[in-house]
Structure 1
Amino acid sequence: MGTFVGMDPAAIRRLASLLGGSADQLDSISVTIQRLVSDAVSQWEGPECQDFVASWEGEHRLGLQQAGASVRLLSVTAETNAEDQDRTSSEGGFFAGVVDAVKDAAAAAAVAAATAAARSDVIVPTIADLPASGPPRAGSPGQNATWWNELSDAEKAAVLKFHPEWVGNLDGVPGSVRDQANRALLPQYRDELEQQLADARARGDDDQAEIIQNKLDGLDSVEEVLALGDRQLLTLDISGEEQLKAAVAIGNVDTADHIAVFTPGLTTTVEDSLKGYDKDMLELRATMDGELDLAGRDESTAVVSWLGYEAPQLNTDVLDPGFDGSSASVANDDLARAGGDDLAGFYNGLDAMRRDDAHITALGHSYGSTTLGFALQQGTGVDDAVFFGSPGLGTDNLADLGLSEGHAFNMEASSDEVGDAGQFGADPDNIPGIDRLSTSSSEVDGVELSESEWHSEYLMDQSTPQHNMAVVAVGADHDRLVQTNELDLGLPGSLANHAVEAGRDGAVWAGDKVEDGGRWVGDKISDGWNKVTGG
């Protein structure tokens, strides 16, 4: 490997821009040809038509998509290396990674293209290989799993080639299948949204144009996260009324021994939130793996950022309780109930697709904990749940959640008032059977863990809440948990925290007064003794 001094980051960025433009051109060519094929097929029938479509779908379209994806990966790699070079150049360091990374990516692209070409001659199915029927209409995750498992290999391959939309979001089929299907659908969804955007702008519908543009930005975020590697795209849905929906796993949910699924809350969107939560989940997974290593357990993990519902947003209706039928407010539970239906299906799908029994932990923050609460009430394969910053779970009874004592936990930061609102049921801190975990600073195994004080800080790396989530998510001994040491005052969490602090301040004040009084009494006794003795 060579070394290079002072490589020009601007030149690397120009390369990244050029590669990105080339990837866009390949995507555009694929979309244009797809439109021409569709137009031709609408006026053409028979075996020759079927062979023509099979050839396009099975060979050429796949090749274009893989080429576009490979070039886009090169673009992302170059941009990342430009940022690295900015840092190393400012330090006077050496940088050789960009050249090697580009060479490696180019080699990988060549291998992928050669593999696709070879595969297209051997195992690419034809339309005739499609199963007689698609997945069961409104089927349960268990029914969907049965349908998929009963297909032949050729039928499964045909579904992925010709109808990936059947399985991309189908709860009960393997995560690797959903990932492959959703990745194949990305260019198609982008084309559909681009056309919708053009139509909205043509009719002067600025509000709808903004919604569609946000969805397109969301697709960009999805692709950026996928480019990081070791990701599975488990959900991709552009049909939301106002938001793109997506779920991305780090690791392999088909084989992991432990799976943690995180559901966020208010203001969450794919375009603005996915990359940040993906980073949070990556850090949480590292902490989970550390717990397993410490215990000498040779087990695997996967984590999921589930943005598969339309979370409430900050707008003029954010606190509207929805008495007029509105459902997009954080002040009512309509979005949580709707999201809970989908989240329950997702959890049951994780359970149904596995022949073995994975340990599944549900993580819910803020309004996402309410969504999780409604999901759990429908019966899921969830083993443990951790709620944090929760305004309520939609119930005051642990049994309604399908969880037993020792398997449900709540964390409420000292300055987080959201958990005191009781908007959607009792404060989880006060539900019998739910254990309270600490968010204060702590020391574990000689490592200082930071406090999470505010509503948005629970997922901070190297924090006490993150440690607690990791312990629960891998089923570690509960003596590894950092429990809250606050008194049970029968008050909401943050109010109890303030009461405890006030009590401590009062105790200090009283102690000072007692000490002062003791000195005064001692002085008086001393003065009297001196008068008696003449001292």
Structure 2
Amino acid sequence: MPVLRTTARRSKRTLITAALALTVVAGTGGWAAGSAQKAVTGPPPGAAAWRADHSLGLPLPDPATAAPAEVARFFGSLTDRERHALAARHPLTVGNLDGVPVTLRYEANSLALKAERDIRRARAADPAGTLQDHQEARKAAARCADLLRPGRRILAFDPRGRGQVAQVYGDLTTAERTAVIVPGSDIDLATFDRSNDPYGTPAGMATSLRAQMAADAPHTRTAVIAWAGYTTPVGVGPDAATGRLAEAGAPRLARLLAGLAATEVPAPTVLCHSYGSVVCSLAAPGAGRGAIADLVVFGSPGMRRDTVAELRTTAQVWAARDASDWIGDVPNVELLGLGHGEDPTDPVFGARRVSAERAHGHTGYLAPGTDSRRNFAAIALGRYGDVR
């Protein structure tokens, strides 16, 4: 009987979603709130020049094919002088190449940001440019300058497309407990740490999570990575309703996680917000066994899987959704490429449900004083008995 009820429920939801999809397709105006994005894929920028570099008298690992463990072994075989020379010659490649020592990536990304800042400043003063060109260039230069502020540890920086960035909060080289924040829609280089709606940004979520971890375990060394390393959907449009951008972003997340393991960073708790949970679902199998300690999804539209078992991960999977989150009104099925499937907070999915009391809306899960923030910190600290 339970199986029959579940089947009937899914059939009903499928019919509802089918009607919704047909309505949207027929009206087309339903997609007007979002625009299609071109995903940034492939190896880090500058890969061609990197491959052509024979200054060390041996081939450099191919950024497109070398596994992070292979990259880590290669850099481990170099002298300090050789490592720094590669970072200076190829900052964009070294700064985005998973498996490179963490501190060397910080150094390379600082160089890449300075170069990009100078390029943008020159464009802002170019008399051949339009007023709009100058304004956009000044904004981009200011963004780079902000990321260069003392104390910021930039683990990745890619200026292509809308721009991608990852920042580390804490000392990743000595951390005992780590976490990675994977954001949802409308996040890029410009919105990574915007001041409005801070807990809807990877920077704001990472800062808040680490503050809670520090309050709960002041003697534990922690680090949290705010990762905006994939092309996210913009608005509520077809990109947000399909898996296209998640499929493009998942290999990038999988490589990040494999790179952390290759550089001996403790397996992180990966916290996936909204559309980010779709990315995490597709990345989990490719990250490697043991690369993820715990997988936490919150405000999820679905993970394009029907059960936890289909995620093919050794990580414990947790799910949270607050009562006021509009994502709860999204039908949890996948049909004709639209929708993301089963609700991860539904018992049939098999994840451990996490309380999100006092959280408000779609982006309030890591706001101070919420059950979800305390629960997420407890999971990241491995204090499972404290999770409500």
Most deviating of 408-417 and 184-193: 184-193
Cross-structure match for 2:343? 427
Within 5 Å, which residues of 2 pair with 1:431-510? 431-440=348-357, 451-476=358-383, 478-482=384-388
Are positions 1:274 and 2:200 aligned together?
Answer: no
Letter in 2 for 1:233: I
CA distance in 1 between counterparts of 2:204 and 2:241 reads: 29
Within 5 Å, which residues of 2 pair with 1:213-228? 215-223=140-148, 226-227=149-150
Q: Deviations over 1:360-394 (max 9, x none)?
A: 11011111121222211323411101110001112
Of all paired residues, the percent bearing the same amino acid is: 31
SS of 1:377's equivalent in the other structure is helix
Are positions 1:312 and 2:220 aligned together?
Answer: no
SS of 1:390's equivalent in the other structure is coil
**Contact preservation (8 Å) 1:284, 1:461:** no
Cross-structure match for 1:403? 313
SS of 1:246's equivalent in the other structure is strand
SS of 2:59's equivalent in the other structure is coil
Q: Deviations over 1:225-266 (max 9, x none)?
A: x43x2x4210000122xx110000011222211111101112
Cross-structure match for 2:95? 168
How many pairs align?
A: 319
**Contact preservation (8 Å) 1:259, 1:302:** yes
Residue 409 to residue 188, structure 1, CA distance change in 2 (3 Å): same
**Contact preservation (8 Å) 2:163, 2:189:** yes
Give unpaired runs (5+ residues) of structure 1. Answer: 1-126, 322-328, 441-450, 483-535
Within 5 Å, which residues of 2 pair with 1:177-196? 177-195=104-122
Are positions 1:369 and 2:277 aligned together?
Answer: yes
Q: Deviations over 1:151-197 (max 9, x none)?
A: 12221132133333331001011211100110122121123344566
Are positions 1:384 and 2:294 aligned together?
Answer: yes
Residue 209 to residue 385, structure 1, CA distance change in 2 (3 Å): farther
Q: Deviations over 1:464-522 (max 9, x none)?
A: 1100110010111x22011xxxxxxxxxxxxxxxxxxxxxxxxxxxxxxxxxxxxxxxx
**Contact preservation (8 Å) 1:392, 1:427:** yes
Give unpaired runs (5+ residues) of structure 2. Answer: 1-52, 333-338
Larger radius of gyration: 1
Letter in 2 for 1:286: A
**Contact preservation (8 Å) 2:72, 2:100:** yes
Within 5 Å, which residues of 2 pair with 1:8-407? 130=56, 132-138=58-64, 139-195=66-122, 202=128, 215-223=140-148, 226-227=149-150, 229=151, 231-240=152-161, 243-274=162-193, 276=198, 277-293=202-218, 298-314=219-235, 318-319=236-237, 321=238, 329-354=239-264, 358-380=266-288, 381-404=291-314, 407=316
**Bigger relative contact order (CA 8 A; separation at least 6):** 2
**Contact preservation (8 Å) 2:117, 2:145:** no
CA distance in 2 between counterparts of 1:435 and 1:269 reads: 30
- Higher share in helix: 1
Once the two structures are TM-superposed, the CA of residue 452 in structure 1 deviates from its matched residue by 0.4
TM-score, normalised via structure 2 length: 0.74
